[in-house]
Structure 1
């Protein structure tokens, strides 16, 4: 089967969306499909051409023009989204043949591009809902223009209704869409997961080097690796570090970028908060030794009902590295961690509970080792991306067959 896969986020950029798109496309190729990914140029690079073709792990990758997102204004972000939407439609029309159009959201404009291409190419349109983009943009005040949000909601509902099939990454998202009037019979859940090959290639011998380099000594290291944005609510970590104090035997290590990184560093400096280490973003290979050096991996979101039906992909990244998850996310994500004895939970946004959980871990290192022994096997059994790609492959084949039989 020939699959046209749209995702604005794709390597060499670093992030959860990029990782899922790459791993899923790569594993669909291993399942025997021909996959063409429509994406754009890495955001940190200037466009040197309007279009570019390359091959990566058997995936045909077609990059198309976009305005650079400066991360400083909603206008720049929208220009980035709209420019890719239009350029990806043009790029997609030059793909010689396809059986299905698979578009990944966020954001909605990539999904809109997928819908237009599906109609122009007369092929089924499958929409992947990775997050509730309009809802989260509203909660986090990313777009304050009420007219813009109104039209975004209309576009979202239009795409949900027009999609021949929908893939969500959590069961909570599926229920949320059904409550919005989407036919549940056309929704399947394919969760996030991990690439097992990456686990096997993780470097552990650099663990002591990392601890020595950053003077971590015998501290219990809590690692947060990823986007430092408004949704994550990372102020709670700084408040917990303040509660624990300088003699706690704990270091909170932050690796990544995001709009909240500078404010967090400024708060840490102003309040003289101890036991914090901020490092720049790293690629997967560079990051793995830091996972090995950590004792716990932190996953947190703000305390809001919609985040309770979200499962951050970081949960699986942490588990893939064989590390217990220190989770401050309500609902489905916490259920996964606790039911599989893969970590410790605290109430989202509750600094005292976070400090208490970390203090308990400091005093009971053997318990942390027991949790660690559970983690990797759970991922291999339940959240292997090769297995998940096989599930998605079957869904896509059924959609295409159903279309042909109509």
Structure 2
């Protein structure tokens, strides 16, 4: 089978969509399938092309057996709605055109969070006469409405109509959460074509390891209880709450607790300015590092903080870093209610707190810094729970769903062309 996958994030970018897509495609190649990925020049989230790459009209490379086709797009940092939309639309156009140069795909998959990529996937599927599968990673544009990034409600209403069109046209929808499936079903989407394949972790990379002493010393973290946030510093993440907790800890003399931030995003400049204004000596900001090096920084953490702003929409999401934390054996302080909080509580892999509640976060940090045995138990539980979210098994499950959707789509099409024959007869 030849799988054509469209995504605007792919390694060497290190965000969740890039990691999931690469790790799934890698496993499908290992299973004997041909995989072509259409993406753009790596630039997320700074909006600068990575060293060694150029924003060319068309470029090709092979990555772990995956044929990667990179197309030109208008590149913008992960901030400013108008420029980001131009970025997304330009990729939609060039990715659709590039799909015409891909030899005989059997199925076209496109992934959100922004669904202009899904638009390209649908268009490519029509042009190539192949089934279209929508991988749903985020309820976009609902997430735009939730963070207030766009004020024109008429445009959001139009985008939501486009969203429904794509759901209905997809041969199958693969969602990353059960909550997303319930949401789509409530919209009137046929539940039988919605499947759930959660995020997970590459257990060959993310596993328990000792702290890197030299790195800790270099960053001035030796002897500290390190609480870390690793990931995108975006509007949705509400990281001001973490700075408020750090301010309280500093004012109360809890000097042994230190907060480490690693990553980039639309809010990072404001966050670093806020930390400087508050004169926070217990906070360190670091820029994004390559995927292979991220585990070195995870190893420094005594606890990982996961947080999103307080809004009903975010109760439906499961932050992908949750699985990496568990696999590393790092206890979690989890400020995201809903399906992800159930994983934390049911597996006893961490403690939850209310989103945007800095006082509760401060209290949980103090609790785990003083009760190291509890922290150790939570971390050990995480390693066990993470086995259920091994990326290898999840990729295999998604592959079976793709094959099933392909069978159903081809059968339905041929049966429409030759009424009276069964699906099995049309496929012989």
Give the shorter-chain TM-score range: over 0.9
Q: Choose from 118, 121, 124 the match for 1:114.
A: 121
Q: Are 1:30 and 2:30 an aligned pair?
A: yes
Match runs of 1:207-218 below 5 Å:
207-218=212-223
Q: SS at 2:232's partner residue?
A: coil
Contact 2:206-2:295 within 8 A present in 1 as well: no
Q: SS at 1:241's partner residue?
A: helix
CA displacement, residues 200-253 of structure 1 (integer Å, 9 cap, x when unaligned): 5x7x46611122112223221001011111111111111111222263120010
Q: How big is the shift at 1:79? A: 1.5
Cα separation, 2, equivalents of 1:250 and 1:107 = 37
Q: Choose from 383, 396, 399 the match for 1:390.
A: 396
Q: Are 1:238 and 2:250 an aligned pair?
A: no
Closer, same or farther: CA 48–328 of 1 in aligned 2, 3 Å: closer
Q: SS at 1:221's partner residue?
A: strand
Q: How big is the shift at 1:303? A: 1.1
In the alignment, structure 2 segments of 5+ residues that lack a partner are 413-428
What's the counterpart of residue 184 of structure 1?
A: 191
Cα separation, 2, equivalents of 1:267 and 1:49 = 38
What's the counterpart of residue 15 of structure 2?
A: 15
What's the counterpart of residue 176 of structure 2?
A: 169
Q: Are 1:257 and 2:294 an aligned pair?
A: no
What's the counterpart of residue 385 of structure 2?
A: 378
Contact 1:47-1:66 within 8 A present in 2 as well: no
Q: How big is the shift at 1:272? A: 2.4
Closer, same or farther: CA 398–231 of 1 in aligned 2, 3 Å: same
Runs of 4+ in 1 over 4 A off after TM superposition: none
Greater shift, 87-96 or 314-323, is seen at: 314-323
Q: Choose from 289, 312, 317 the match for 1:310.
A: 317
Cα separation, 2, equivalents of 1:20 and 1:213 = 31
Closer, same or farther: CA 260–134 of 1 in aligned 2, 3 Å: same
Cα separation, 2, equivalents of 1:88 and 1:66 = 9
Q: SS at 2:4's partner residue?
A: strand
Closer, same or farther: CA 144–189 of 1 in aligned 2, 3 Å: same
Q: How big is the shift at 1:12? A: 1.2
Q: SS at 1:356's partner residue?
A: helix
Match runs of 1:6-405 below 5 Å:
6-43=6-43, 44-45=48-49, 47-199=54-206, 204=209, 207-245=212-250, 247-248=253-254, 249-380=256-387, 382-405=388-411
CA displacement, residues 25-72 of structure 1 (integer Å, 9 cap, x when unaligned): 111212222111111111222845210111111111111110111445
What's the counterpart of residue 423 of structure 2?
A: none
Q: How big is the shift at 1:285? A: 2.1
Contact 1:242-1:274 within 8 A present in 2 as well: no
In the alignment, structure 1 segments of 5+ residues that lack a partner are none
Cα separation, 1, equivalents of 2:56 and 2:178 = 41
TM-score (norm 2): 0.91
Cα separation, 2, equivalents of 1:289 and 1:117 = 40
**Number of residue pairs aligned between Structure 1 and Structure 2:** 403
Cα separation, 1, equivalents of 2:9 and 2:277 = 35
CA displacement, residues 169-228 of structure 1 (integer Å, 9 cap, x when unaligned): 00001001111111111100000001122125x7x4661112211222322100101111
**Superposed CA RMSD:** 1.5
CA displacement, residues 78-132 of structure 1 (integer Å, 9 cap, x when unaligned): 2211111011111111111111111101211100011011111111110011001
